[in-house]
Chains A and B, each alone.
Chain A
Amino acid sequence: MNVDKTRSENQQSNEMKPMSIRRVEFDSLEGLNQAFEAMTAMICCGNQGGPGCTCGSMGG
């Protein structure tokens, strides 16, 4: 069973395309952390706090 699976995988691997990896860059938004924090004030701890509920879920 495993032998068959391995043979099949080896066959598959020969058909694999070359590995392609590209990093999604978020760097251009650096400096906007304060905006992100302000825009997530209601998400906080999800626990009936609110803007500035001080739960610290965003590290404050």
Chain B
Amino acid sequence: MERRDFHTFGKDGRHYVFLTDLVSLFEIDADTSAVLARVEAGETPFGEGVRQRWQQFCDHMDELARSMPKAKALRSPEDIPDHVIGLYLFVSQQCNLRCTYCYADEGEYGQPGKMNKEVVRQTFDRFFSEGQRHQVTFFGGEPLMNLPVVNKTIELADEYRKAGKADIAFNVVTNGTIYSKKIETLFRDHISDVTFSLDGPKALQDEQRPSKSGWSSHDKISKNIERLTADTQVNWGIRSIVTSQGCDQVEEIYRHLNEFGPGGIGLVDADVPTDHPLYMDDEAYERFVEQIVAVNRKGLRSFVEGGQPVAFEYPFYILFHFVSRTHNLYHCNAGTNLLAVTAEGDVYPCHRFVGIDEFRMGNVADPALRESAPFQDIRKRFMHTTVDERSGCCDCWARYLCGGSCDKYSYTEHGDMEPPVERHCHYIKTVIEVLLPDVAAVIEQPAERLELMQRLRAGLSCRIGAKGGEEVHVA
């Protein structure tokens, strides 16, 4: 066993060791934890007693490892299928908002325009003709500013479905400021998942996401979330971008978004340059992480205590890996099974790389796109950037729970996809260290474990759209 294979930590007077490869947690005595902490810190030399305890621990764990089934990789390079599973379709590179932190040049990505139906057809020809299932996400800009092409895409998907060429589900990421009966029908009949972008209470939302015409984006989206989710089976959630302006209001933001009903809630820090006024400095970021952890802890308690059924995602993220005993080798599917197509038909590894020439994989107008050198080279580059291959990640105890930083965030910070983003590392390690003991405590109390299981089943039926499920808010 090496330093990279475990992590010891304590909480509330109890001591734990997490074994990276086994994806398993152990409660240990204080003396052993102290020894492990010294080994983990790279301290040498040791006295005989410390060395003996370390050896005793290693022998015990080696024996245990031989008796346990090995953990599996969620996706390893050899498992990655050739076909595209998820595709972001930039139907509109125009937007009616001018968000203060927008990374996309007010939604235009330097090339304002709307996708036409020929680009949609070419996209389908390139990626959706092999009888597979796919998820298309309408993205922008504001995708609902190009409703004709959204509808055309859905018509084409229906043709492909009938011809047995592809089974395609649709998602939308929208600022929620546009409403019409046609959009209501679209959501009800054709959209599986909707993400509304809403940053928080009115003052914060209108400050960070002002409209180009002077109206309140908060007023519009508040009304439209209610109208567009009232009578539909659609899964929906709200994504809030947290900046230096909102970093001390995380719980307030969460409470506000929670008032909209049983959708999911996602909170993510803004991706802005370090000299941007909305960038969180290190102290602000630390406060942000503390609040994220606090909301997660409250959410878990609320979930198992049967009060207001509110949850926050990280406890379930942790549970997923510990129950399934899986290794995350990638942050996401970008560049392999996930791609983005711009209004002009240019193909990128994901929605966040759009506009960066180095990552342009080709254009859907090219019949030989998928065999072309740029496409294959970039695909291989992503495929081989596993957490085991990433410098700075391969020796980290949290690597298989994390999968590495977002490739785009790493590229922005380092000009290279491999090195991790230090803030991401701090965030994920903090979440794990604080929440894992909480989750373990729930699992070890039979009554709470049973309550957790029952509410998870109820929550699942709600989240997948079945009527009658107990309302569970997830974030």
Are A and B genuine complex partners? yes
Q: Which residues of A contact B (CB under 8 A)?
A: 2, 5-10, 12-14, 16-30, 32-60
Closest 7 pairs between A and B when the two form their complex, measured CB to CB: A13-B49, A54-B86, A50-B195, A9-B47, A56-B333, A59-B74, A42-B266
Residues of B within 8 A of A41 (CB): 193, 235, 237, 264, 313, 463, 474
Is B287's beta carbon under 8 Å from chain A? no
Is B265's beta carbon under 8 Å from chain A? yes
Residues of A within 8 A of B314 (CB): 43
Flag B307-333 by CB within 8 Å of A: 1 or 0 each. Answer: 000010110110110111010101111
Q: How far is the CB of B200 from chain A (nearest CB, A)?
A: 15
Is B194's beta carbon under 8 Å from chain A? yes
Complex Cα–Cα for A6 and B406 (A): 44
Q: How far is the CB of B407 from chain A (nearest CB, A)?
A: 10
Partner of B195, one of A13, A25, A30, A53: A53
Residues of B within 8 A of A20 (CB): 28-29, 32
With contacts A29-B453, A50-B266 taken as known, whether A42 is within 8 angstroms of B237 at the C-beta atoms is yes
Given contacts A29-B452, A52-B235, 9 further A-B contacts (CB under 8 A): A16-B53, A26-B323, A32-B323, A35-B459, A42-B475, A46-B266, A54-B86, A56-B338, A60-B85
Q: How far is the CB of B385 from chain A (nearest CB, A)?
A: 14
Q: Are A25 and B443 in contact (CB under 8 A)?
A: yes
Q: Are A52 and B239 in contact (CB under 8 A)?
A: no
9 A-B residue pairings within 8 Å (CB atoms): A9-B47, A12-B50, A20-B29, A23-B26, A35-B457, A39-B311, A45-B334, A47-B351, A53-B137
Q: Are A16 and B408 in contact (CB under 8 A)?
A: no
Q: Are B319 and A29 in contact (CB under 8 A)?
A: yes
Q: Are B323 and A46 in contact (CB under 8 A)?
A: no
Main secondary structure of the interface of A (DSSP, over half): loop
Residues of A within 8 A of B37 (CB): none
Partner of B239, one of A37, A50, A57: A50
Complex Cα–Cα for A60 and B475 (A): 19
Complex Cα–Cα for A39 and B443 (A): 17
Q: How far is the CB of A51 from chain B (nearest CB, A)?
A: 4
Q: Are A49 and B406 in contact (CB under 8 A)?
A: no
Q: How far is the CB of B103 from chain A (nearest CB, A)?
A: 9
Complex Cα–Cα for A43 and B311 (A): 12
Q: Are B46 and A9 in contact (CB under 8 A)?
A: yes
With contacts A9-B46, A13-B48, A45-B332 taken as known, whether A40 is within 8 angstroms of B32 at the C-beta atoms is no
Residues of A within 8 A of B235 (CB): 41, 51-52
Q: How far is the CB of A45 from chain B (nearest CB, A)?
A: 4
Main secondary structure of the interface of B (DSSP, over half): mixed
Output the nearest chain A residue to B236 by Cβ-Cβ distance. A51
Partner of B456, one of A24, A26, A35, A46: A35
Output the nearest chain A residue to B326 by Cβ-Cβ distance. A59
Q: Are B317 and A43 in contact (CB under 8 A)?
A: yes
Complex Cα–Cα for A26 and B169 (A): 33
Is B192's beta carbon under 8 Å from chain A? yes
Partner of B193, one of A10, A26, A46, A51: A51
With contacts A16-B53, A19-B57 taken as known, whether A48 is within 8 angstroms of B195 at the C-beta atoms is yes
Residues of B within 8 A of A55 (CB): 86, 332-334, 338, 350
Is B1's beta carbon under 8 Å from chain A? no
Residues of A within 8 A of B332 (CB): 44-45, 47, 55-57
Residues of A within 8 A of B47 (CB): 5-10, 12-13
Flag B431-465 by CB within 8 Å of A: 1 or 0 each. Answer: 00000000010011000010011001101100110
Q: How far is the CB of B434 from chain A (nearest CB, A)?
A: 16
With contacts A13-B49, A45-B331 taken as known, whether A51 is within 8 angstroms of B171 at the C-beta atoms is yes
Residues of B within 8 A of A21 (CB): 17, 26-29, 32, 57, 60
Residues of A within 8 A of B457 (CB): 32, 35
Output the nearest chain B residue to A45 by Cβ-Cβ distance. B332
Residues of B within 8 A of A58 (CB): 74, 320
Complex Cα–Cα for A35 and B192 (A): 17
